[in-house]
Structure 1
């Protein structure tokens, strides 16, 4: 190889190296821009998901309120006629000793010979958590409502939609179960059902 050919080869390699360096720099720059675009798109997607979650939560709350409103007239009738309740309060909010607010869908009670209170939890679609929620409210009743602590306490879980398995679980816990039929809630308990009295022990 001649000196000139060697010089030309080195020059060619240098030019190719320069081109490759420029292309690599350009690729890095394009990658950085792409990363920025991806980051921006992810932030926009996160924002859209948060907004959608907020809207879905709002719809769920409205549907829950609708279900509670649907349940109230027939529940009021059940509570007064079948259980002798004289005071029926929908949507009761109360704070526990830690300051945590709890909402009870319906709290009913009566004095005198009956001397009983009933907590009603209304669900559009019953899940395990709904059963646990009502059980917790019943167990904490004396703390949440010391003025009613001397009363016998029972729980009713009213649901628009509930699997047979969950209905059985409600009854096994000693809770009454109510289901909607022809836009009216009615109790669905077997004749031998023994409700659990949460404050009798």
Structure 2
């Protein structure tokens, strides 16, 4: 008998789909002679992101001493061909329409949710207090970014475990949410596996990738 879907099982499948995509993009992008670091966390001091923190998918040092930071966009959201999914989480009714691990929008009925309500959750899954370095394993099990708007939390879960999404929904339920809908911010037609956000920065000859990240924003350590 096929097991009934749940948020936990869908999240785990979505994460595995994304990890396969992410690993393939990193392998295809980091060519011989190119130095690269994946999942690089920086403090951008940008109020648009929780804690002002952001994690680049990949930072490269090119042979001509240019550095680029890249963010990849996954092609197809997990569950695109599945019917809408719903389940109860305590007193909350959850609907999942699309689940793309790098582009999750959690709509809720709590209105203006204060950012500090998510502070502990974000710090734990972003791994704010853990040191980062060039020898970190892949995947690093780290959330890449999150932002809060009225009635919604937008998250790039990166390589964070599937439990991060399950915990977020439980947190909203504990604060009194009665209805939560999970969707993506990008339309399927807008997404291409080769799409990437690229920032090009000049490097001094003796700078390391850690140096360039520190110049862009203080490296988390």
- TM-score, normalised by the number of residues in structure 2: 0.28
Larger radius of gyration: 1
By relative contact order (CA 8 Å, sep 6+), the higher-ranking structure is: 2
Higher relative helix content: 1
- TM-score, normalised by the number of residues in structure 1: 0.31
